[in-house]
Structure 1
Amino acid sequence: MSDEHEAEAGRTRLASALIANGSLTTDWLAAYNAAPRHLFVPDTIWPGQADGVRQGEAVDRETDPAAWWAAVHSDVPLTTQWDDGNHTGADRGTMPTSSNSMPTMVFSMLAALDVEDGHRVLEIGTGTGWNSALLAHRVGSENIVTVEVDEGSAADAQRRLAHAGYAPTSVVGDGSEGYAKAAPYDRVIATCSVGRVPHSWVEQARPGAVIVAPWGPEYGGEALIRLTVGDDGTASGRFVGSSAFMRLRRQRSARPNSLTYLSSPRPADGIRSTTGLSPEDIGGWLEMFAIGIQVPRAFPLTERYDDGSYTLWLHDTAVTSWATIDWEPGCTAYEVVQSGPRRLWDEVEAARHWWDGQGRPAFDRFGLTVTPDSHTTWLNSPDNPVPLQG
C-alpha cells in the first residue's frame, strides 16, 4: 500500500475509533482531516501505552514503515524526544521530554477548551505542532500563539506547520511566562503538566476565559483542570478527567534517592509500627492524586526485589523525613518505619482514609481555585477545601 493510501486508510480507522469513544466530535472532524497526525510525527518515535506513562522500543519510518504508520494511527502517545534533546539515536534515553500526545487526550482537551470563532488562544508547549495545527484550522492561524521552550522542537514544529499550511505565532521561550505581548487571550491550553498554574496565564486571559491544563501534586496522580478566569485575578474550576503529561520544564522537581535521607542503614533512627493498609491500595492514579492533594511536598519511590516483594519509600522534598512500608505477597499486616519531624506514612494513611470516608470521589468531584498567592483544591464546591494532612 502506498503512503498516500496508508495515510487515508489509517486516518479513517483512527477517526472511527475516536468518534466511537466520544473524544472526536463533529466540530473537530474537519480539523482532524485537514491536519492529519502523520504530518506532525517525526521519522523516529517510541510508541507508548494508553496510560501515557510507558514507552516501547523505537520505531523508524525508513526501516519499518508499516510499524511507523500503525503507531501513528493508533490511539497511543508517541515519544519524540528524550533528555531535552541531549540524547540521540534509537535507544531510549533517561527521561522522555517531548511527545505527540494520545489522540483521545488531544481531542478531549480541545473539547474542554471549547473554542469559538474569533477566539485568541495561547498554547503552552508546541511539541510536534499537531495541536497548534488543529487549533489554527479551527480559529485561524492569526489567532494562535504557541510557546515552546526547546529551540529544536520549536523549529521542527514550525517547519511542519508551514508544510501543512498553518502559520501561528511561534515563540521560543519559557511557557510559565505565557506571552504577554499578544494578550489578552480567550483560551489558554497547556500540553505539559503543572503543579502550580502560573499566574501569568491567568493575568494574560480575559475575564471569562478558559484555561485547560494537566495538573498534579508532587506525590503523583494527575488530572485535567478546566479553570474559568474571574474578573478579580483568580481562576477556579473542576477537574474533568485523568491525564498523564510531561512536566513543564521550570516546574520539574529533583527527587533525591532514598540514601540521601539515611545517616545509617535502615531502620536507622526510625520508629517501627504495623499497618493494615496495603501499599497496593494507594498506588492507583486516582488514589495517588487524592493522597497528593492532602500530603504536600512529599513523594513515593518503590524498591522492588527479585522475590516479588517491594519496599515503598516516602520522602519529603525538604529531605528531613522518610518512611518505608514493606509489602510481601499474602500478607495482611505490613511493617512501617518512620523517621523525621513528619510522620509521612501517618499522613498518607490519614489521606487515604479521608478519601474513603468521602465515598472515594473521582477526579470530577474535585476542583481547584487559583489566586496570585495560593492554590486550593476542593471537593464538590470551592467552599469545601480538601484538608491537608502535613
Structure 2
Amino acid sequence: MIWPGQASGTGQTDAIDRRIDPARWRQAVYSDVSLTTQWDDGEHSGTGKGRTPTCSNSQPSMVFSMLAALDVEPGSRVLEVGTGTGWNAALLSERFGSPNVVTVEVDADNAATARARLGAAGYSPMAVVGDGAEGWKPSAPFDRVLITASLRQVPRAIVEQVRPGGIIVAPYATEYGGEGVVRLTVREDGSASGPFVGSSAFMRLRQQRTQRTHVREYLGGKPWPADGAKSMTSTSPEELGDWLPMFAIGLQTAGVFPWAEVYDDGSYTLWLRDKAVTSWASIDYVPGAEEFEVYQSGPRTLWGEVQSAYSWWHLQGRPGFERFGITVAAGGLAHAWLDSPSHSVPRVG
C-alpha cells in the first residue's frame, strides 16, 4: 500500500493497493513524487490516511540530488540513517558495493521489510535496527553519512563517527519552519561546517520530534485575547508564509513556532508560540487589508522577533537556501551563517 505525494506542494493522494490496481501502482512508483508507506509509526491501518506520515520512499529527484551532494568515492564507507523502504541503501550498494554500506532504521518492522527487499534484489548492506541519532559506532569511522530524516540538531555522535574530511548530508529544519539539505564537512578538530544545497521537506527524525502545547494553555484558561496587548502591523502574514522566509526566520529565532487557524472566508489567524509556554502572539490576516490586528502576551514579543528576523532577511537581498550554512562546533552547538562562516546570522529574542 502506498500513498503518493503530490507533484507540487505537500500532502498525499489516496492510497493505491498494488494487488488491486497494479498499473496505477506502477505509474506512481515510477513518478517523481514521494510515496508514503507508513502512518503513525505503524499504528494506523487501512486505506485511509493516518494523522502523521512516518515512513516514505522519497521523491526520486530529491534522492538523486542528495546522493550527488554526498559525492561518494569508490571504496568509501557509507552510513545511511533511516533505511525506510531500502531504496537508498540499494542505490548505494549498487554503486559502491554492499560491504561498504551500513544502514540504520529505528522501526523494526520497516527494517525487516527493507532487509527482505534488499536481499531479493541481490544486495546485502549491513542493515541494523537502532537509534539513528547514535549512528553505528561498531562500523565507524565513515567517509560519508546520508541522513534521510529531518534534523533540528545535528547529532554529535554522528559527527564523531566521520573521518576528518568526510561528508554528512542531511535535511535540517528550523523550529519555526522551513527546511534545507545541508552538506557538512567534518574537520580535524571535530567540528563540521558547510552550506545548504537546496530546500527539502522530510519527516522528522523520531528522536527529535516535538510535542506542541495547545493554544489554550498559553491563554491561561481565559478566552482570547486574554491579557494580550493590542497593536497594528502593516506587515502581512502572507509575506512570511513561504518555505524560504520561514527558514530564514527560523535560523534567527529561538524556540518559536507558527500555526495558522484558517477560516472559510480566506482569512486566518497566525499564532506564534514559544516552546517554554510563556509567550504568544496572534496576527489576524484579512484578504485585501493594509493593516492587521496583533495581540501579544508574555515576556517575549514574538511578533516583534519574527518581524525583525524577516526584515533582516529582506535587507540581505532575500537570499536563497544556497547562501546559508551552519557550523557545528566540537561541543555540539551550532550557529548559522550567510555566505561565509565568518558572517554569522544574527539571533533575535
TM-score, L = length of structure 1 = 0.88
The corresponding residue for 2:247 is 289
Give the AA of the match of 1:385.
S
1:51: Cα distance to partner? 4.9
Residues 87 and 216 of structure 1: CA distance in aligned 2, closer, same or farther (over 3 Å)? same
Residue 378 (structure 1) aligned with residue 337 (structure 2): yes
Give the AA of the match of 1:223.
G
The corresponding residue for 1:22 is none
Q: Secondary structure at the match of 2:3?
A: strand
1:88: Cα distance to partner? 1.1
* Mean Cα deviation higher: 246-255 or 47-56: 47-56
Q: Which runs of 4+ in 1 moved over 2 A?
A: 50-53
| Equivalent of residue 236 in structure 1, options 177, 182, 193 | 193
Residue 112 (structure 1) aligned with residue 74 (structure 2): no
| Equivalent of residue 331 in structure 1, options 289, 306, 325 | 289
Residue 53 (structure 1) aligned with residue 3 (structure 2): no
Equivalent-residue separation in structure 2 for 1:307 and 1:173 (angstroms):
47
| Equivalent of residue 128 in structure 2, options 150, 154, 171 | 171
What per-residue deviation string (whole Å, max 9, x for no partner) do you get for residues 14-59 of structure 1?
Answer: xxxxxxxxxxxxxxxxxxxxxxxxxxxxxx1000124563111111
What per-residue deviation string (whole Å, max 9, x for no partner) do you get for residues 140-177 of structure 1?
Answer: 10010000000000000000000000000011011000
Equivalent-residue separation in structure 2 for 1:56 and 1:91 (angstroms):
10
The corresponding residue for 1:5 is none
The corresponding residue for 1:77 is 34
The corresponding residue for 1:131 is 88
Equivalent-residue separation in structure 2 for 1:150 and 1:325 (angstroms):
40
Aligned length in residues = 347
CA contact (8 A) 1:78 1:99 kept: yes
Residue 274 (structure 1) aligned with residue 232 (structure 2): yes
Equivalent-residue separation in structure 2 for 1:332 and 1:60 (angstroms):
49
5 Å-filtered alignment, 1:200-219, equals 200-219=157-176
* Mean Cα deviation higher: 254-263 or 48-57: 48-57
What per-residue deviation string (whole Å, max 9, x for no partner) do you get for residues 243-289 of structure 1?
Answer: 00000000000011211211211111101111111111001000100
Residue 340 (structure 1) aligned with residue 304 (structure 2): no
Give the AA of the match of 2:345.
V
What per-residue deviation string (whole Å, max 9, x for no partner) do you get for residues 119-142 of structure 1?
Answer: 000000000000000001111100
The corresponding residue for 2:203 is 246
CA contact (8 A) 1:50 1:102 kept: no
CA contact (8 A) 1:52 1:244 kept: no
| Equivalent of residue 43 in structure 2, options 86, 90, 107 | 86
RMSD, aligned α-carbons? 0.8
Equivalent-residue separation in structure 2 for 1:387 and 1:280 (angstroms):
23
Q: Secondary structure at the match of 2:174?
A: coil
Higher helix fraction (1 or 2): 1
Segments of 5+ residues of structure 2 without an aligned counterpart are: none
Equivalent-residue separation in structure 1 for 2:271 and 2:189 (angstroms):
42
CA contact (8 A) 1:202 1:235 kept: yes
Give the AA of the match of 1:107.
F
TM-score, L = length of structure 2 = 0.98
Q: Secondary structure at the match of 1:160?
A: helix
Equivalent-residue separation in structure 1 for 2:185 and 2:251 (angstroms):
20
